[in-house]
Structure 1
Amino acid sequence: MEVLAEKILEWYQQNKRQLPWREDANPFKIWLSEIILQQTRVDQGTAYYLKFTDRFSTVHDLASAEEEEVLKLWQGLGYYSRARNLLFAAKQVVNEHDGVFPASAEGLRSLKGIGPYTAAAIASIAYNEAIPVVDGNVLRVISRLIGMEDAINSAKGEKKVRETMTKILPNSHPGDFNQSVMELGALVCKPQNPLCSSCPWQDDCQANKDQSFDRIPFKEKKTKTKAVHTYYIVLKHRDELLVRKRPAKGIWANMYDFPSIEHPKAITEEEAITQLQTALGKSFNVAHISESFKHILSHRKIQARFIIASTDQKIEPKNDESWVAKGAFDNLPIPRLIDKAQDLFWTP
């Protein structure tokens, strides 16, 4: 096992990517990068990481921010609960830990939004705690290394991978080791067409020996995605739009979109207009109806259409609605789906 660690650490030193959060062992920066990179590609996440560190140099800066500003900076990354948890955890660090991140994985788990993987990553990289990380890349690399037939998204499969990582993990430089396995998965041991000839573990890998990397790792089937057809009313009065603030719980919590109706199947444009007029309690003049915008969430597949309309008399907004001009709208945190169609909203 010691030889395996030596091989991959040597490979890592020669091949690791130069990423901004690897410049030092600052727990704030490591934590921020890990939260951003959940469900996010490194190339996309890097741009967001730089935006956040440019605006927030320390955890104190982030803890004092308003939620809307954090959501606006996060806009486009999806899974917005991560942004809300980020702000909540920053406040925890400042208010409960005097601005210092807990120095162990167990202590880090007390912070909002930090699970076993993120806690292990921060603790091993920032504090040299000898604890293994298990993410998607690690699951793939280790399952191939040991030729594991169990599903990697099962409790049994993850346990086997974690046990293997624990056996290989060196007491010295555990953070580098954890990063090296993740890096191997990102650069070499890819889901499709892995670059086995470039792998430091090629002689030790059971999947390489058996040529079974096309079926390892194995995943159990996911939960079925629900289809939803959403019809938004983008209602104008002069130079203002009627926007809606979403509830504090559920998808896109506390972000902004427009009054809408949802159906499991598509309805006609005429039906959508009639139902939206009923929901608003007022008729409006339709200028344009968009084509369908497709947006996929973890358990929901949305087909959205935007009805661009105007009204001569400004209607009284409901409690969760307000009229905003373009300058104010540009500063609101909006879901990626709304951002996709934004060019339609201000067309004369």
Structure 2
Amino acid sequence: MDFTGLGRFSAYKLDRLLTAAEKAGQLQRDVQASAEPQDWLSVIKIDSACLELADRWYSIKGSATWMAVFLICILCVMAIGIIPTSDQWNELGPWLLFALGVSIVAPLLWFSIYGLCLDCFRLTHYPIRLNRKTRRVYAYRPDGSIITANWDDLFLCVVENELTMGQTSYDVRAHVLADDGETVVDTFTLAYAYLGEESGLMRLWEYIRRYMEAPDGPAQSYNTTEMCMPINGRKEGVVFSLVRTFALMVKWPALQLLASPLWALTTWGRWFAMATCKVPVWPAEIEAACQPDPDDPYGKDWRSNGRYDFLEFGWPAICLAVGSLVVLAGIVWLGEFMWGTFE
């Protein structure tokens, strides 16, 4: 999981100079990056005036939730298990063991709650809106405030992110620079392909680049976009949460079934996270500046998606049921094991 830029410990660094890697990775708006543009399930809505995209963390919503809840439950059971019993209250040893356990459990519990709050009790997503007509860009920050910048003034570059366990990811970073053209005063991720894969990122960047730069940009993007995320002024429904979780493995149903316990947990976590979050609302002045023509031929949002077929919804629903049963069996086994351990 890649939470780069979302939490306080991975926040984007500001008030600094551009790095050599960022300068080397600068993207040119007039240079084609890929012959096959792809939206990577990032589009919320599109028309001749604006393109609205989901943020880099939207696809993994729910992952941190179930992991945090699982760890919190384990830690609570451990804490209960080391509480001295009534016949040990006058003994020093059990209390020392309890104090040691608390000193270990408390930081882990804080870390778990922090992880939970990366997903929950925030915004459902952090949209990015590109206005083709006015050449303005608007992006929600994780704290709920909004960045406003000129498209042509943004410093766009590919950034490599170092993750845990030696892994890396890539994103297209949009920097707002100071008057010196070197100091980064604000930033946001403009494009992020699923799992942070670089070649996929270039296809997504090409999709965005063509929308903003090509004479027929809206037509190209309209024809490329097959599905819009149903989060335009609303929360995604429980059906789409399931569809979205399983979507990027839709071509491999056997793998979906094999990974169903993991995806089931993520789906349940996504449902909980979305239920606790608020929908972002653009200010009236931004909405007014982004209105398309009434007869715009290139308008598309979630209403254009059509019905889900069996592989998009039916099979994932079966996998959800199977995965949930496996998870439930695992929880029962783990509970019996831990109960026996503490007896």
TM-score between the two structures when normalised by the length of structure 1: 0.21
Name which structure has the greater RCO, CA cutoff 8 Å, separation 6+: 2
TM-score between the two structures when normalised by the length of structure 2: 0.21
